[in-house]
Amino acid sequence: MDTLPLPDDGTAAAPPTPDELRELYSLMAAVRRLDASAVAWQRQGVIPGYAPELGQEAAQVGSGYAVDTSRDFVFPTYREMGVARAMGVDMVEYMSTHKATWHGGLHDPKTSRLAPIQAVVAGSVLHAVGWAHGQTLDGSDAVAMTYLGDGASSQGDVHEAMNFAAVMKAPVVFFVQNNGWAISVPTERQVAGGSVAARGAGYGIPALQVDGNDVLAVLEATRRAFAHCRSGKGPVIIEAMTYRRGPHSTSDDPGRYRSLDEERDGAGEDPLRRFRQQLLSAGLADEAFFARAEASAAAEAEMVREGLEALGPRPGSEMFDLVFQETTPALESQSASWREESEHV
């Protein structure tokens, strides 16, 4: 489905150049390698937990690549490493969140334009709408993009966020990664009607459902959505249909709720293999290019691992410093108790 009007003022984005196409593939290759490495790091004790995104590289890189980091702002969940990488966020700083540092990561949201990882299911959509509404009050043409899954779409926060955004014409893109599973529950058992994008009609929000395994289709859809929001016409819903090829998290066992045959049948064509074939068919890349992309991805993953292992523990006192803008008596009391028990002050 596609209810998003086409631009009629000549503002449609130009198709990606050959260099951009090759960059998109390199980004996807880097994300694939880093994602697999992060799972291994969790097993090795380098990080305590991680939410894999195998199979969702096209949805994440294609959407993240469309962001204008000079003005827009992205509000992720806990599974948007590929978005962060496409936006140019330092991966050691981003992955430090998964190392469980006290303050939730080292990357600076203000400069990177990526909000901290949100572990509360659907929590990021409310933050995005609030920020986007602030841009309309300031007269800015900046756009917020918030990520959620098909499972999160069943939360009440999503209804509140979409309703408010539609009423106030907030410039926010709701990017739904429908990966087929709400942890162990398939989409058809928890999304009434089978489509999150279809709900847009109830809010008066234009929406489109896109092949989430096609990086170019995702990029085009996201650019269209941003142009719509930037022109003052309000929010857009994008539902990228993809598939979570691995577990929900490193503590999940997908074998308890689906078979390997079901996983293979449901996953469809691999997004990297698909885009690789497109580039080969168009004569825009050769085997030497793909070899370089893989080598670069492997080197980057090793660099990130070294950076993570070099990180020391954060001062425990930070958990009290970064709660409120102005401290409270209760927080001061807790801080004093912690210092007495932990630092013997």
> Global pTM?
0.92
Task: For domain 18-314, give the fold.
Answer: Rossmann fold (3.40.50)
- pLDDT tens, N- to C-terminus, the chain (345 residues): 788 887 766 667 789 999 999 999 999 999 999 999 999 999 999 999 999 999 999 999 999 999 999 999 999 999 999 999 999 999 999 998 888 765 556 888 999 999 999 889 999 999 999 999 999 999 999 999 999 999 999 999 999 999 999 999 999 999 999 998 899 999 989 898 889 999 999 999 999 999 999 999 999 999 999 999 999 999 999 999 999 998 999 999 999 999 888 888 878 889 999 999 999 999 999 999 999 999 999 999 999 999 999 987 777 777 888 788 899 999 999 999 998 888 776
Pairing of strands 73-75, 144-149: parallel
Instruction: Sketch the domain layout of the chain as residue ranges.
Output: 18-314, 315-345
Give the C-alpha separation, 175 to 66, whole Å.
Answer: 12
Structure tokens at 150: 């098909």
Q: Is 45 left (phi over 0), alpha (psi -120 to 50) or beta?
A: left
Catalytic residues: 244, 248, 257
Q: What type of residue is 175?
A: F
Greatest pairwise CA separation for the chain in angstroms: 68
Query: Scanning the structure block, which residue is given the tokens 């994300």?
Result: 31
